[in-house]
Amino acid sequence: MAVRKNQSTLTADEKRRFVAALLELKRSGRYDEFVTTHNAFIVSDTDNGERTGHRSPSFLPWHRRFLLEFERALQSVDASVTLPYWDWTVDRTPRASLWAPDFLGGTGRERDGRVTDGPFSASGGNWPVNVRVDGRTFLRRSLGSGTRELPTRAEVESVLSMSTYDMAPWNSGSDGFRNHLEGWRGVNLHNRVHVWVGGQMATGVSPNDPVFWLHHAYIDKLWAEWQRRHPGSGYLPAAGTPNVIDLNETMRPWHDMSPADLLDHTPHYTFDV
């Protein structure tokens, strides 16, 4: 059984293996396929039309399915690798261990956001940004520039206390747990972290930055925590809802799993805590 660990507890060898698997997926071209998929859904997911990956109830199961596929791709390179998660309520500054040169590298330089250290820097030549929203071909970050503060644990607790998963109009205007976690309402959790990292993370091609996977692994963990706290509150909507994914509908682009199939993560992985 795969165990997803807090990135702050990874050993030097675990970090090395994770980075090496990422670089191999990038070299083979498989990594960019995930970036392309994510960007396609960012573009197509709108409040007033069909929406699957974002602004919708299936934000959480869609990303759980997306991360599962990516984790399996990593494991095809190195079977020992699992996705770590980044608890940004604790590791909340540019000096946190995940931004060290032996792991993800740090923030970008002031004039253009270009990351200059770590295994994903342009100078290393191993991380060209091929799926992009502009002409820049290098990984960019501006840690803490777009928004000064990452979400706090108290803000997370305020969202975890919400007992209803989602509700009409089932988009970025909805109340309920999903939309507050996604960040279109209230204290803004998920979206704010993307903006805090900046660079590609603040765009539809956010998986260009490997921290995307650590961020979403933590969002996935928060969903699991909410489920434990509210065992009587299930995924909504159940059936017959236009433009969004109901409980037993399969999700694009895979068409092989529904939200109901993904409510329990334990057949696939567990968390260290």
Give the CATH number of the domain where residue 76 resides: 1.10.1280.10
Give pLDDT, residue 148. 80
Q: What is the pLDDT of residues 77-99, one digit of tens each?
A: 999 999 999 999 999 999 999 99
Identify the sign of the CA torsion 84, 85, 91, 92. positive
Mean of pLDDT values over 204-220: 98
Task: Compute the mean pLDDT over every residue in the chain, rounded to the nearest whole number.
Answer: 97
Domain assignment present for 273? no
Give pLDDT, residue 1. 78
Domain assignment present for 233? yes
What is the residue type of 115?
V
Helices assigned H by DSSP within 78-182? 153-160, 177-182
Percent of residues in the chain assigned helix, strand, coil, to nearest 5 = 40, 5, 55
Instruction: Count up the domains in the chain and report the number.
Output: 1
CB contact at 8 A, 98 and 121: no
Domain assignment present for 46? yes
Q: Which range of residues forms the domain containing residue 154?
A: 2-264
Domain assignment present for 216? yes
Domain assignment present for 270? no
Domain assignment present for 269? no
Q: What is the pLDDT of residues 141-178, one digit of tens each?
A: 999 998 789 999 999 999 999 999 999 999 999 999 99
Domain assignment present for 258? yes
